[in-house]
Amino acid sequence: MSFEIARSGINAVNASLETISNNIANSGTYGYKSSRSNFSAMYADSHPTGVEVSSTTQSIENGGGLFNTGRGMDAMIQGRGFFAVRDPAGQTVFTRVGLFNVDKDGYVVDSLGRKAQGYAAVLDANGRPVQGGGLGALGDLRVSTGQIPAQSSDKLSFNGNLSADWTVPAVATFDKDEPRSFNSSVTSTVYDSLGTKHSVTQYFVKTGTNTVNAYYSFDGAAPTGVGTTFNFDAQGQLTAVPAVSINATPANGAAPIAMTVDYTGLTQFAGDTTTRTNETNGYAAGTLTGTSLSEDGSLIATYSNGEKQTVGTLALATFANESGLKAISDTSWTTTGDSGVALYSRPGAGTAAKLSAGALEQSNVDITGELVSLMGAQRNYQANTKLISTENEMMQALMQAV
């Protein structure tokens, strides 16, 4: 019986050595989670029969160190959660390795070509992503690799300070070509439906105490009458924000431009005339030039026209029992009955952690601890072999005595 007990000890130590050696071998593997072999005593009818490795525990809850890559499509999960990826066979597996790229077809894939799972962007009636419009359907995360169409400007935001020190212009009749007939002007760039740039120039003319008229010129054309009138109170604030619309028809065949102008925040204080905001919301057509991920999982596409759009959201999967997941090749896991089903959400929502963009998770293996465990396993192995040797010597002595 002693031989069998010692043999079970050697087998158990060999099994633990496999776990230790696997941990050490993967000390440099991104997203790897170390394991530990758990020993259990064996008995038969109250008689000891040795030892066995009864289970293996994964340290999934222990995060690895942050390795800063600076690459836009790399992402590290700061706490709980797994990236969900679909392999060519259609099976969805889970990984902590956030090393992603966009393939030739626009799919977000990991370093093994598996398609990342995420939420599509919500689109408007023209097929454009609605920024801040929530989450779309869950599936293969994809970004359009073609051009984005031009968007006609429909809003102009302008505010600043129209100096209270202005005097009524010397030339009473406004003429955009006569600088003495207005006090100040500012030009904004707008876009038509074809993406062609146009200019809208605002001319400001003081007409009396706390009163300023504004005239609008589209592409240098002469304004047709007063566009709007600003009335300021004694504190230099607008008595009411005027509702202003600019309508123009480009000469290049584009659709007519209908644009509202927001003057919220416009003031009349003494001192310099200043411009704080002068923004429009249109843009020309653009071609995809790059993609990146943010901490909330947003997939941000950058285009040649300078625009950035959120075109999808990377999903994270969490489980009721992460330790119940089954480890497989390629630093991945699959679900089991013990783990429960995957619960999907965007990073930072629910129990899913936020991401660290431009970084990867390092292995959580403690090399020092593994080497100490290795020395302990070596001593256990030697002790069991010594037991077999001693038992053998005793058997030989018994045989000689007989």
Question: What is residue 5's predicted lDDT score, i.e. its pLDDT?
Answer: 84
Can you give the pTM of this predicted structure? Answer: 0.78
Beta strand 286-293 with 298-303: parallel, antiparallel or unpaired? antiparallel
**What span, in angstroms and rounded, lies between the C-alpha atoms of 101 and 115?**
10
Question: What is residue 246's predicted lDDT score, i.e. its pLDDT?
Answer: 92
**What span, in angstroms and rounded, lies between the C-alpha atoms of 343 and 350?**
10
Coil, strand, or helix at residue 12?
helix
DSSP bridge partners of 191: 197
Q: By the 8 A CB rule, do 184 and 160 touch?
A: no
Question: What is residue 129's predicted lDDT score, i.e. its pLDDT?
Answer: 74
What is the residue whose two structure tokens read 């995957």? 342
Q: What angle do CA 351, 356, 359 make, to 5 degrees?
A: 135
Question: What is residue 126's predicted lDDT score, i.e. its pLDDT?
Answer: 67
Question: What is residue 4's predicted lDDT score, i.e. its pLDDT?
Answer: 82
Residue 248 corresponds to which amino acid?
A: A
What is the residue whose two structure tokens read 């990984």? 95
Extract the tokens encoding 238: 């607008």
Which residues of the chain have a pLDDT value below 50? Answer: none
Q: By the 8 A CB rule, do 63 and 34 touch?
A: no
Q: By the 8 A CB rule, do 296 and 348 touch?
A: yes
Q: What angle do CA 242, 248, 252 make, to 5 degrees?
A: 155
Q: What angle do CA 391, 393, 399 make, to 5 degrees?
A: 105
Kindly report the three-state secondary structure assignment for every residue of 62-115.
CCCCEEECCCCCEEEECCCCEEEEECCCCCEEEECCCEEEECCCCEEEECCCCE
Quickly name the fold that domain 155-280 has: Tick-borne Encephalitis virus Glycoprotein; domain 1 (2.60.98)
Residue ranges covered by each domain of the chain: 2-59+364-401, 66-146+287-361, 155-280
Q: Kindly state the helix (H) or strand (E) to which residue 373 belongs, with its residue range.
A: helix 367-401
Number of Cα atoms under 13 Å in the Cβ half of residue 305:
19
Beta strand 35-44 with 343-345: parallel, antiparallel or unpaired? unpaired
DSSP bridge partners of 203: 185, 215
Question: What is residue 236's predicted lDDT score, i.e. its pLDDT?
Answer: 95
Q: For the residues of 248-282, what is the DSSP string, one character each?
A: E--TTSPPPEEEEEE-TT-B--SS--EEEEEEE--
